[in-house]
Amino acid sequence: KVLYFSGLSYLKLAKYRQARSCFRKLISYYPHSKLIEEGWLRLADSYFLEGNLSRAKVIYKKLERNTSFNFLPTVYLRLAQVCAKEGKWQDKRRYLKKIKERFPLCVETKYVSVLENYGDYFTIQVGAFNKKKNALSLKKELSKRYPVYIIEEETLEYILYKVRVGKFKGRNKTKRVYRKLIKEGYSARIYP
C-alpha cells in the first residue's frame, strides 16, 4: 500500500519519475498485491501525464488485452485520449463506443461526452475567463490574425468562456500556430 500511495502522491505532484519508481517496485516486488492493477494503470498514467504518449500507449494496450482487468473503462478512456492527441479520430471514436456499450454506468461515461464534444480536430486554447467581456476582448485582439472563437462551458457554480484559435485537422499545422502564439506572448494549450 505504501508504494502505491507514495506513487499516487508523486503523480499528483507531477513528479512522474518518482511515481514510476514506486509503481515499478510495487509491480516487481508485490506481483500478487491487491493494488497491482492500479499500479500498472498509474504507471501508464505517469507516462501519459508527462506527455510520453508512445510509452503510455504500450502499457494501456497491454492492459487492454487483459479482459479481466478491473479498470478497462479507464484504459479505454486513456486510449481514446491518446488517439485524439495523435489525430486518430476513428480509433478515438472506437474506444469511446466501447465505454458506452460495455460500461454504460461507469464514471468514465461522463468524460466520453466531453471527448466527443471536442470534435475531430485540434484547437488551441489561449484563455479562459469567468467574465464574457474579457473573452470578447481577447477574441477581438486575436481575430485580426487568427480564426478565433469562444466556447461557453457551464459548471455548477459559473460559466467559463474559453477563447480558442482554429480547428485544425493536422497536428503539425496546430503546432506551428501554437508556437507563433507563444512567441507573441499568449498562454496557449493544444486540445485535445
Residue ranges matching CATH 3.30.70.1070 in the chain: 121-191
Alpha helix (H) ranges present in the chain? 2-12, 16-29, 36-50, 53-65, 72-86, 89-102, 109-118, 132-142, 171-183
Residue 67's pLDDT band (cuts 50, 70, 90): confident
Is it the case that residue 132 has pLDDT exceeding 90? yes
Residue ranges matching CATH 1.25.40.10 in the chain: 2-117
pLDDT (tens digit per residue) in 168-190: 988 889 999 999 999 999 999 99
Give the CATH H-level superfamily of domain 2-117: Tetratricopeptide repeat domain (1.25.40.10)
pLDDT at 57: 97
Whether domain 121-191 has CATH 3.40.50.720: the reply is: no
The DSSP line for 121-156 is SEEEEEEEESSHHHHHHHHHHHTTTS-EEEEEEE-S
